[in-house]
C-alpha cells in the first residue's frame, strides 16, 4: 500500500537522507522515498501493518531530525 506523508521542519538534504534511512529500517516499510524540496515522504507499506508503521514513523521522524514533524 502506498502512503504519502507531508513533513514540516526539514532543514537540509542531508537531514532528509537521515530521516529516509531511519524510516526504511522500520518493520513493515517496503520502501521509502523523501523529497527534500516538497518535504513529502512516500512509503510502500505492508497493508496489515499500516497503522503501526504510521505511528512509528511519527516517532522516528523527529528523533532523526530535531524539529521535523509529520503533519
CATH for 28: 3.30.70.100
pLDDT number for residue 42: 98
pLDDT, one tens digit for every residue, the chain (71 residues): 999 999 999 989 999 999 999 999 999 999 999 999 999 999 999 999 999 999 999 999 999 999 999 99
Write out the residue range of the structural domain in which residue 61 sits.
2-70
pLDDT number for residue 45: 97
Helix pair angle (13-24, 50-64), 10° resolution: 140
Residues 6 or more apart in contact with residue 59 via CB below 8 angstroms: none
DSSP string, 15-56: HHHHHHHHHHTSTTEEEEEEETTTTEEEEEE-GGGHHHHHHH
- Residues 41, 19: contact at Cβ < 8 Å? yes
**Whole-prediction pTM value?**
0.92
Q: How many structural domains does the chain have?
A: 1
pLDDT number for residue 56: 97
Amino acid at each position: 500500500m502506498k502512503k504519502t506523508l507531508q513533513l514540516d521542519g526539514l532543514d537540509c538534504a542531508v537531514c532528509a537522507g537521515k530521516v529516509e534511512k531511519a524510516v526504511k529500517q522500520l518493520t513493515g516499510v517496503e520502501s521509502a522515498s523523501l523529497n527534500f524540496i516538497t518535504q513529502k515522504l512516500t512509503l510502500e507499506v505492508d497493508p496489515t501493518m499500516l497503522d503501526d508503521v504510521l505511528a512509528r514513523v511519527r516517532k522516528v521522524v523527529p528523533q532523526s531530525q530535531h524539529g521535523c514533524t509529520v503533519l
